[in-house]
């Protein structure tokens, strides 16, 4: 299905996309928000959000998203299910091919499709994600005061998560499937030297125990002296299993930005897929990508902070930048039209 050309499409309905939608709708841009495969983004997996400004008693992740959606709708934003599968964005209008089979044409696009945390495939992780299993220590660490917790991973992110959690938890155990860390030496040393952080080498998380009512209550760890124990167990090699009592599990095995649909376009990304945004003439940050009319907001362009509050901020930036771009586009069209008319009148 082919539509008229829209002024703005926002890909993604997490905090960044909703913030952009509120700002854009208030500017009468009538944005279309594509909700994606997981409407609301990663925040919908968080039961309680305590560090979002304006909610001193905390707020449920799903509630925060629903409030944002209603606010955007109130100002005139339109929502539609579907995700972008392919994009042609190097010429105007931008052409977006959706998973629904529809094709949308737009003058501008805000990419707020987020980054998906990698999971490890442990038993019960689907059920317990957001109920003691988390991918963000900064978001959920304070809920684990006095707990014993596990951190799964071996890179800098895992060390950072463990050190942050050590402020609250009684003990933090880093579970790594090898004897050698991927983390930088300085981060590894900080973790090794912390009295509340310990390591389980050549070990992997096989199962998480608990319920949505009780949260995480324990885990099954599997180990082998030569590492990669789950792989060995699957091939029939004997491994050692141990049940441990814990109050939380944190995955720190990386994130994958949802930018595959930008393959083959001029939107520049780093080697992991995160979008590069530009600075203006005064060297101040913007949400503009390397393609005119395409903007990025939230985790899709932020491998460092990945917080709801920062995503909301960049969402508003992207909407303001898109509004300015559309005004420039309109000014250019208006300046071209009279010249064309004059030329036509002078033609014999």
CATH code of the domain made up of 2-116+255-341: 3.50.50.60
222 forms beta bridges with 204, 241
Query: Within 10 A of 38 (CB to CB), how many other CB atoms are there?
Result: 17
Give the architecture (CATH level 2) of 125-251.
3-Layer(bba) Sandwich (3.50)
Q: Determine contact, residues 89/109, Cβ cutoff 8 Å.
A: yes
Active-site positions read 136, 139-140
Q: Determine contact, residues 63/40, Cβ cutoff 8 Å.
A: no
How far is CA 265 from each of CA 39, 101, 226, 325, rounded to the nearest angstrom? 25, 20, 43, 19
DSSP single-letter state for residue 320: H
Distance CA 289, CA 279 (A): 9
Residues 6+ apart with CB under 8 A from 291: 89, 90, 265, 266, 267
Cα-Cα end-to-end distance for the chain: 42
pLDDT tens per residue, range 53-103? 999 998 988 899 999 999 999 999 999 999 999 999 999 999 999 999 999
Residues 6+ apart with CB under 8 A from 166: 172, 194, 196, 197
List the structure tokens of 316: 């508003």
pLDDT tens per residue, range 30-62? 999 999 877 888 787 676 788 899 999 989 888
Asked if the domains 2-116+255-341 and 125-251 are classified in one and the same CATH topology, the answer is yes
149 forms beta bridges with 172, 248
Supply the pLDDT for residue 334.
61
The share of the chain scoring above pLDDT 70, in percent, equals 94
Distance CA 34, CA 94 (A): 15
Is pLDDT of 229 > 60? yes
Residue 92: phi and psi, rounded to 5, are: -90, 140
Note the helical H segments in 200-307: 229-234
What is the pTM for the complete model shown?
A: 0.79
pLDDT tens per residue, range 273-314? 999 999 999 999 999 999 999 999 999 999 888 889 999 999
Domain ranges of the chain: 2-116+255-341, 125-251
- Total number of residues shown for the chain: 348
> To the nearest 10°, the Cα dihedral for 120, 123, 126, 128?
-110
Distance CA 301, CA 315 (A): 11
């Amino acid at each position: 299905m082919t539509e008229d050309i829209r002024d703005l499409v926002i890909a993604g309905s997490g905090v960044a996309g909703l913030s952009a939608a509120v700002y854009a709708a208030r500017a009468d841009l009538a944005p279309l928000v594509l909700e994606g495969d997981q409407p609301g983004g990663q925040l919908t997996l968080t039961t309680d959000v305590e560090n979002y400004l304006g909610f001193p008693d905390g707020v449920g992740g799903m509630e925060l998203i629903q409030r944002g959606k209603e606010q955007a709708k109130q100002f005139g934003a339109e929502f539609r299910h579907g995700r972008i599968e392919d994009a042609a964005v190097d010429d105007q209008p931008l052409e977006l091919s959706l998973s629904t089979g529809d094709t949308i044409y737009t003058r501008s696009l805000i990419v707020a499709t987020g980054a998906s945390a990698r999971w490890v495939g442990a038993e019960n992780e689907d059920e317990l994600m957001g109920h003691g299993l988390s991918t963000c220590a900064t978001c959920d660490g304070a809920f684990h005061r006095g707990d014993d917790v596990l951190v799964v991973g071996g890179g800098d992110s895992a060390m950072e998560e463990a050190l942050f959690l050590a402020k609250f938890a009684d003990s933090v155990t880093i579970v790594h499937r090898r004897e050698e860390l991927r983390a930088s030496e300085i981060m590894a040393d900080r973790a090794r030297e912390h009295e509340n952080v310990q390591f389980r080498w050549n070990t992997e998380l096989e199962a998480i125990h608990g319920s949505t009512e009780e949260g995480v209550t324990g885990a099954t760890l599997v180990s082998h002296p030569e590492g990669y124990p789950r792989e060995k167990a699957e091939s029939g090699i004997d491994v050692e299993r141990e049940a441990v009592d814990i109050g939380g599990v944190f995955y720190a095995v990386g994130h994958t930005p949802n930018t595959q649909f930008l393959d083959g376009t001029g939107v520049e990304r780093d080697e992991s897929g995160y979008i590069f945004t530009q600075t203006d003439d005064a060297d101040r940050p913007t949400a503009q990508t390397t393609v005119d009319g395409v903007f990025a907001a939230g985790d899709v362009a932020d491998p460092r902070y990945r917080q709801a509050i920062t995503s909301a901020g960049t969402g508003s930036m992207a909407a303001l930048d898109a509004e300015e771009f559309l005004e420039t586009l309109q000014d250019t069209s208006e300046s071209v039209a009279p010249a064309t008319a004059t030329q036509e009148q002078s033609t014999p």
